[in-house]
Chain A
């Protein structure tokens, strides 16, 4: 088929594209259409909404901070050093991206739970993770950080090494090169990675409920609150969903362009 060729395949692709578009857009329209807009005010001022939204912001931002603190060095090491088993390490780091989150929660229990590998050490130190906000943050970090790491590693690989080498010849330390040369060069990727990571942390459900439980104000983030409300109070669930949708749209809007630029 030539560049201009049309034929049946052309229309088939357009038809599939339209079905795909409907599949992704219609549920969002449905959410808005079904939402009890008249009672939205009273539904949204309930304690559970404020608590869940506040907790979601705290948990997702803390997870983002942790992901940056630990993920940036990890991505840098993976991109800059050749060592045996690097491919394996890279695969392991990306595993939480494809792992079902509930499995991630079970896995976290085996290490950080009360009866987990580090359980006795943690309780001796007075650190409680199960059923605490710290546990919810750990769960969100575990599932979300790989999105930042993968984006950053790819960006580090693409940086023009001559710039770093030039900085090194005039005596800059590794940390200084990273801070003044490398990071500014990958700024769009860094922002995109942070956005993906934050969005994943904000939407985290399975690992949180498995590892940290479900308690308002402590571990009940927005997704958990939506799911619990859905079980007996669908109107409340719709109202909560609208809030999350608004937050997600604000995130997308705030980053318009950045994501596209970084991922191409």
Chain B
């Protein structure tokens, strides 16, 4: 019985060859110094563009952007993840990290607007309809920045109770909201204005007239391996060139980069 299960020696040799090639590929050395940037899910495209522009100026550096829900990235940093820069979709998540790890160069670098996202072939055309019977609404979870902003916006609009009753899924980051809408499983969701840019054909945004704006903050980890390079990247994000790229991707231009001083 057992013999039939064991691979033939020839197969074993092939497997060993595959393993060797895999190892070699994994060890292929890149002479550039890696700079790890943890960025909120909504920054995926804009930070990819920032990475390209920054690397053009700094050929010796290799920016690696890791995107995810800000709350998840913050937890990973609290658990000791190695990163040089943290760019969060809200200040709270930077606060959480700041309790456990020393941060420097903390500053606000972008502002984003919230929109209701609907399918252009769907039944929803106004914000009030979100509370209608049988409407399937997808939000980001309560701990996710986009989910917090969305709930605050609904409170301001007086639609909180009605819309919350229609929520069918709490996504783990704002891109999960877009994914469920793109798949056509939900009728509406709340996301950032920047999430709908690019080659979007089936989704459209309804503007939300609320005072709730998303404020993005970044900080450099004080114990980062590439602290200087991390600071250089952070400075690039807040520089005119960096701000222009963020603006191109739909972020609202802040009057002036604001430095946030720690109060102890």
Contact = CB atoms under 8 A, between A and B. Distances in A.
Contacts of A258: none
Interface in B132-187: 136, 138, 141, 143-144, 167-172, 180, 183-186
Contacts of B79: 234
A160 interface: no
Interface in A115-162: 115, 130-131
A221 interface: no
Contacts of A109: 183, 185
Q: Which of the listed residues A209, A220, A227, A231 has the most CB atoms from chain B within 10 Å of its own CB?
A: A231
Contact of B185 (A130, A215, A227, A232): A130
B158 to A, nearest CB: 23
B143 A228 contact: yes
A131 B185 contact: yes
A234 B75 contact: yes
Contacts of B184: 113-115
A228 B185 contact: no
Interface string B196-216: 000000000000000000000
Contacts, number: 61
Nearest to B2: A264
Nearest to A218: B168
A87 to B, nearest CB: 16
Given A114-B184, A130-B185, A213-B138, A231 B172 contact: yes
B238 interface: no
A114 B170 contact: no
Nearest to A219: B169
Nearest to B73: A231
Nearest to B170: A214
B11 to A, nearest CB: 18
Q: Is the interface of A mostly helix, strand, loop or mixed?
A: loop
Interface in B209-232: none
Interface in A229-253: 230-234
Nearest to B78: A234
Contact of B69 (A113, A114, A220, A231): A231
B75 A213 contact: no
A228 B185 CA distance: 21
Nearest to A135: B185
Contacts of B167: 215
B170 A227 contact: no
B75 A214 contact: no
A213 B169 CA distance: 5
The CB with the most chain A CB atoms within 10 A, among B75, B136, B183, B184, is that of B183
Given A213-B168, A227-B172, A232-B74, 12 more contacts: A109-B185, A113-B183, A113-B185, A131-B169, A213-B171, A213-B180, A215-B169, A215-B170, A220-B170, A231-B69, A233-B143, A234-B79
29 contacts: A109-B183, A113-B183, A113-B184, A113-B185, A114-B185, A115-B184, A130-B168, A130-B185, A131-B136, A131-B168, A213-B169, A213-B170, A213-B171, A214-B169, A214-B172, A218-B168, A219-B169, A227-B172, A228-B172, A230-B72, A230-B75, A231-B69, A231-B71, A231-B141, A231-B172, A232-B74, A232-B75, A232-B143, A234-B78
Closest 10 CB pairs of A and B: A213-B169, A232-B143, A131-B168, A115-B184, A130-B185, A231-B72, A232-B71, A231-B71, A214-B170, A214-B169
